[in-house]
Amino acid sequence: MSKYEIALIGLSVMGQNLALNIAENHSIAVYNRTEAKTRKFMEEKVEQQQIKASYDLKELVSSLAKPRKIMLMIKAGEPVDLVIESLLPYLETGDIIIDGGNSHFKDTNRRTKQLAKKGIRYLGVGISGGEYGALHGPSIMPGGNKEAYQEVEAIFNNAAAKTEKGACVSYLGPDSAGHYVKMIHNGIEYGIMEIIAEIYDYMRKVMALEPAQMSYIFAEWNLDFQSYLVEITAKILQKDDPESGKKLINLILDKAKHKGTGKWSVQNALDLGVAIPTINAGVNARLLSALKEERVENSKDFPAPDSVNVNNELIIPRLKSALYFASVIAYAEGFKLLQAASKEYNYQLNYQEIARIWEDGCIIRSAFLEPIQKSFAVDNDLSTLIKSDQFKDKLKAAGADLEEIFTTAAVSELALTALHAASDYFNSLKSEKLPANLIQAQRDFFGAHTYQRRDKEGVFHTEWEA
């Protein structure tokens, strides 16, 4: 057979599924560090003649058409550097390395510069959609060398999820733009997952609903939200444990793990001076969930109060409003951070296009993305989504529905950290006056940090105890 169009290294489930996806339209060679995994993949999964198994890197590279295109689907961090180092002896000027993992954007910047000195073109590509998306069409977020992207564009277009607007892939910008956008996608994901979890917690602890009842409510809401995360929540709540016959959700330990992208979003937001409290709440909630043994011990000293009576029929539409409100705020925080990063790192991001390629294939796909696109179509420099005509009035109405939820949750001593964070973010961002004048006075008092005045121009310092 003639030379293969692209290679893929890393045959985890994501890598396997993406290879099978690509092979529907393009010839591909695959390699995994563990030879047995490659053989098992070829024996159990591969029917197409367009997939070639390689068992060493030299063979893999030599099987490719020039310029070679090699995609890495491996664990982020040092493994990426080790594989790149192992590939370099076999590559030539103009060849392309594509990192499809969740690499930290600063690592992508470093690798881009290092490889450019050797004549190798580099793409940092965010891929969202999980195992199903990898096989049937993910959302693909490429950044890096633009000419290199143009050479793999057809492969990505064919592999990506499709909507009536086109393939859910678009060149996003130079250097680490693709991996940065994927990082913020995951940050928004953390926020929305925690929002849904808190509403579930309210339903079971305050409303005393059973999983099947909650499943029906989430499924009904999703007729409007069209949210993948709400959709799978409804399915999860219906699932029975095959061994016990009980609802599986009631048997799963309440300890949530994380892979780092949410934490990176929060860390970078602090670096750029951007507030993302709802996303931060999603990260913090997972950290608190890890303290299971400590929480169990503490609960003995602080027993839960008696349940409060609420009118479930009246509270359900308010919870739907809360889900709408906080989800929009999570997106607003994410796009605010994207705007700051675009300026700081010169990504020149197109926010309308980012929302478009998130419409299908990715984990945070939802009906919210269409009005987000419309918002940025009017003004790509929109300061915040809460000011958009697409959301402004709806946020006001939804925000008014939060009061009873917060009140009854407080009486029940129920933590709603993401919902509170979203509400506080909204209230702060629309507040003409915040108490920061007192903070600045305190800073000037103990550290002579100076302050500005409302009534005159200039910078001032006061001898507060004179």
At 24-81, the pLDDT tens digits run 999 999 999 999 999 999 988 887 668 999 999 999 999 999 999 999 999 999 999 9
> Alpha helix locations (H) across 303-387?
312-345, 351-357, 369-378
Answer for the pair 237, 210: CB distance below 8 angstroms, yes or no. Answer: no
pLDDT value at position 45?
83
Distance CA(101)–CA(77), nearest Å, equals: 9
Q: Which two tokens stand for residue 377?
A: 């179509």
Question: Does domain 6-171 correspond to CATH entry 3.40.50.720?
Answer: yes
Which tens digits make up the pLDDT trace of 150-173? 999 999 999 999 999 999 999 999
pLDDT value at position 259?
77
Q: Which amino acid, residue 457?
A: E
For the cut 80, the answer to whether the pLDDT of residue 224 exceeds it is yes
Answer for the pair 197, 285: CB distance below 8 angstroms, yes or no. Answer: yes
Q: What is the overall mean pLDDT for the chain?
A: 96
For the cut 90, the answer to whether the pLDDT of residue 449 exceeds it is yes
Percentage of residues in the chain with pLDDT exceeding 70? 99
Buried b (16+ CB within 10 A) or exposed e, 57-80: beebbebbeeebbbbbbbebeeeb
Binding site residue list? 10-15, 32-34, 74-76, 102, 128-130, 185-186, 190, 259, 286, 443, 449
201 half-sphere exposure, CB direction, 13 A CA radius: 20
pTM of the model: 0.95
pLDDT value at position 466?
82
Q: Over the Cα atoms of the chain, what is R_g?
A: 25
Range in 82-86, 182-186, 305-309, 461-465 the model is least confident about: 305-309
pLDDT value at position 1?
58
Q: How many CB atoms lie within 10 A of CB 304?
A: 10
Binding site residue list for NADP(+)? 10-15, 32-34, 74-76, 102
For the cut 80, the answer to whether the pLDDT of residue 362 exceeds it is yes
For the cut 90, the answer to whether the pLDDT of residue 257 exceeds it is no
In this prediction, residue 2 has a pLDDT band, given cuts at 50, 70 and 90, of confident
Residue with tokens 């705020």: 329
Percentage of residues in the chain with pLDDT exceeding 90? 95
Rounded to whole angstroms, what are the CA distances from 310 to 53, 293, 313, 320, 407? Answer: 61, 31, 9, 16, 11
Which tens digits make up the pLDDT trace of 385-402? 999 999 999 999 999 999
pLDDT value at position 46?
81
Answer for the pair 416, 197: CB distance below 8 angstroms, yes or no. Answer: no
Q: Which amino acid, residue 311?
A: N
Answer for the pair 367, 394: CB distance below 8 angstroms, yes or no. Answer: no
Binding site residue list for substrate? 102, 128-130, 185-186, 190, 259, 286, 443, 449
Quick one: which of 76, 75, 106, 72 has its CA closest to 86?
72
Answer for the pair 321, 402: CB distance below 8 angstroms, yes or no. Answer: yes
Q: Which two tokens stand for residue 283?
A: 């990260």
pLDDT value at position 48?
62
Q: What is the CATH number of domain 435-465?
A: 1.20.5.320
pLDDT value at position 49?
67
pLDDT value at position 366?
98
For the cut 90, the answer to whether the pLDDT of residue 258 exceeds it is no
Distance CA(48)–CA(28), nearest Å, equals: 10
The predicted model gives 223-238 an average pLDDT of 98
Answer for the pair 99, 128: CB distance below 8 angstroms, yes or no. Answer: no
Answer for the pair 12, 76: CB distance below 8 angstroms, yes or no. Answer: no
Which tens digits make up the pLDDT trace of 109-138? 999 999 999 999 999 999 999 999 999 999
The predicted model gives 365-377 an average pLDDT of 97
Cα 203 to its chain centre, rounded Å, is: 25
Answer for the pair 102, 39: CB distance below 8 angstroms, yes or no. Answer: no
Transcribe 106-138 into DSSP letters: HHHHHHHHHHHHTT-EEEEEEEESHHHHHHH--
pLDDT value at position 44?
87
Annotated catalytic residues are 182, 189
Cis peptide before 435 (omega within 30 of 0): no
Distance CA(192)–CA(190), nearest Å, equals: 6
- The domain segmentation of the chain, as residue ranges, is 6-171, 182-430, 435-465
Q: What angle do CA 401, 411, 208 make, to 5 degrees?
A: 80
Q: Which two tokens stand for residue 143?
A: 């950044």
pLDDT value at position 308?
87
Domain 182-430: homologous superfamily in CATH: N-(1-d-carboxylethyl)-l-norvaline Dehydrogenase; domain 2 (1.10.1040.10)
Q: Is 323 helix (H, G, I), strand (E, B) or coil?
A: helix
